[in-house]
Amino acid sequence: MFKKILVPTDGSTLAAQATTAAVQLAKRLNAQIVGVNVIDPFPYIGIGDASAIGLQAYLTEAKGAATQALDALRLACKAEGVECVGDTIERNVVYEGIIETAEAEGCDLIVMGSHGHRGVKALILGSVAQKVLTHAKTPVLIVKG
């Protein structure tokens, strides 16, 4: 049924829960996991000389965290004998990066975590998971935290 499962990860506990579900599903279906970590490359707006230094520090930290998140996904896959590939991409809009990756990699399922906020809190916060669910053409499995 599903042969290529996209797992967006940010290294959080919620992402780890989604990873566990995705790896177990992939193992049962003999599917491949495709991991992605999306970094916003321009969140820092500085003034003067501090701007370049602040941006570089942010990108170094973000790429380090992305590597750790993807390494955790790879380890979970390896432990269960599931094939895994993954990469970090830079996009200003995280949910668009996730959807673009699913399409570019030919993924037939996206498995990701969500806090499961409801009501006004969900309306105010919005969520990457909600936006992926709304805009993706690929089926999405949400693992609630």
Using one digit for the tens of pLDDT, what is the confidence trace for 85-122?
Answer: 999 999 999 999 999 999 999 999 999 998 755 555 55
Q: pLDDT for 121-132, tens place per residue? A: 555 445 899 999
Average pLDDT over residues 36-59: 75
Going from the C-alpha of 116 to that of each of 36, 90, 108, the distances in angstroms are: 21, 26, 23
Q: How far apart are CA 76 and CA 118, in angstroms?
A: 30
- How many Å apart are CA 79 and CA 91, to the nearest integer? 30
Cβ contact 98:110 at 8 Å: yes
Range of the domain at 107: 4-144
Checking if the pLDDT of 51 tops 90, the result is no
Q: In Å, what is the CA distance from 51 to each residue of 14, 42, 61?
A: 32, 11, 15
Instruction: Report how far residue 38's alpha carbon sits from residue 102's, in angstroms, rounded to the nearest whole number.
Output: 12
* Side-chain-side CA neighbours of residue 42 (13 Å): 3
d(C-alpha 44, C-alpha 63), whole Å: 15
The first and second tokens of residue 29, run together, are 């279906």
In order of 61, 62, 113, 130, 133, the CA distances from 141 in angstroms are 29, 26, 8, 11, 9
Q: How many domains does the chain have?
A: 1
Using the predicted structure, report yes or no on whether residue 78 has a pLDDT greater than 80.
yes
CATH number of the domain enclosing 119: 3.40.50.620
